[in-house]
Structure 1
Amino acid sequence: MANTYTQLYVHLVFSVKGRESLIRKNWKKRLYEYIGGIINHKKSKPLAINGMADHIHIFIGYNPSTSLPDFVEEIKTSSNRFIKENFGLSTFAWQKGYGAFSYSRSQIDAVIKYIDRQEEHHCTKTFKEEYIKMLSDFQVDFKPAFLFDFVEQ
C-alpha cells in the first residue's frame, strides 16, 4: 500500500501529582491552549481539553506517527515546564501514568460534551469515581493499588 490512512480518536486522562488542586481557573485556559499547540505540533488534532483543579481530560484526533506513550510524555513534560515557568509553581508535577480510551467517529460529539461539562460532572462525582467508572466501562483490568494516588477529601 502506497499510503497509510488512520482515523483514531483518543481520550486521555491524567492528574496532578498527589491529586493536589493546583490548576487554577485564572490560567487553565492558557494551559489548555499550550497543550493544544503541543498536540498540533505532533500532527494530531485537539478536539476538547478541560478538567478540574486536580486532573485533565484531553480528547484528540490522534496521528500515530508518534507512539502514544511518547505523545503523552511530551504533553506532560512540556506542560509541566510551561506551568513552572509561567505560573510560579516550582513544585508542580503530573502524576505518573494516564488513562487512554478510544472512541469511534460517531461518539465524538458526546465525548466533547462530556469533557466540556467537567464542572457539572464533579458536582456529583469525584475524580476517583469518574476514573474507576471509565476503566470499568471500557473493561480495563486494573488493580486499585496501582491507580493514581487518590487523596480522600
Structure 2
Amino acid sequence: MSSYRQILYHIIFRTKGSEKTLNMGYSSELFNYIWGIIQKKNGFLYRINAMEEHVHMLSDLHPSIALADFVRDIKTASSIRLKETGHFPYFKGWADGYAALTYAYWDKEKIINYIKNQQEHHQKETFEEEYLRLLKEHNIEVDMKFFP
C-alpha cells in the first residue's frame, strides 16, 4: 500500500541581524537556486519571494526528509552560493532559526498570494511586526530575546 501526504510549509528565515543584505536585483538567482535544492530533495516549491532581510517560501516537504534538515540544507547551500556570486556583497549569512508554519491544502492560494505580495505588504508592516504576528496567529510562544 502507498503512503499519501499533503504537507504545506510556509517557511520564513532572515539574514544575520535582519540586515538588508539581499540584493533584490538578483533575487531570481536566489529563488532559482533554492528551487533547485528543493527539487533535489523531492519537494515542490509553490512560491518564493523575499525582501532585503528575509525570505518567504511555500513548499511541500517529502516525508523522508526532516524539516530541520530541509531548512538547514537550504540555508547552508544558498548562503554559500550568495557569497560566491558577488551579487550579494553585504550578505553575511542567514540568522539562526526559522519559522515553519503548516497550512491545509485549501489555504494554498491564500498563502501563495501572501508571499507573492511581499513588497506591497511591507509598505505597511516591518519584517519584525510581520514575523511576530504570524507566530502569534499560529499560537506559537515567542522568545523575545531574539527580537532586539
Q: Per the shorter chain, which TM-score range?
A: over 0.9
Q: Give the aligned residue type for 1:4.
A: S
The aligned counterpart of 1:138 is 138
Give 1:5 shift: 1.4
Partner Cα distance (2:27, 2:65) in 1: 26
Say which SS state the counterpart of residue 42 (structure 2) adopts.
coil
Give percent identity, aligned residues only: 33
Partner amino acid, structure 2, of 1:123: Q
Shift of 1:62: 1.6
Letter in 2 for 1:99: A
| Structure-2 change in CA distance of 1:91 and 1:24 (3 Å) | closer
Unaligned runs of 5+ in 2: none
Aligned to 1:127: 127
Q: CA deviation at 1:54?
A: 0.4
Query: Does the 8 A contact of 2:21 with 2:91 survive in 1?
Result: no
Q: Normalising by structure 1, what TM-score?
A: 0.91
TM-score by length of 2: 0.94
Secondary structure of 2:63's match?
Answer: coil
Partner-residue secondary structure (3-state), 1:23: coil
2:22 aligned counterpart, secondary structure: coil
Cα separation, 2, equivalents of 1:11 and 1:44: 13
TM-fit CA distance, 1:87: 2.2
Is there any run of 5+ residues in structure 1 with no aligned partner, and where? none
> How many pairs does the alignment contain?
147
RMSD: 1.3
Which stretches of structure 1, 4 residues or longer, exceed 4 Å deviation after superposition?
Answer: none
1:92: Cα distance to partner? 2.0
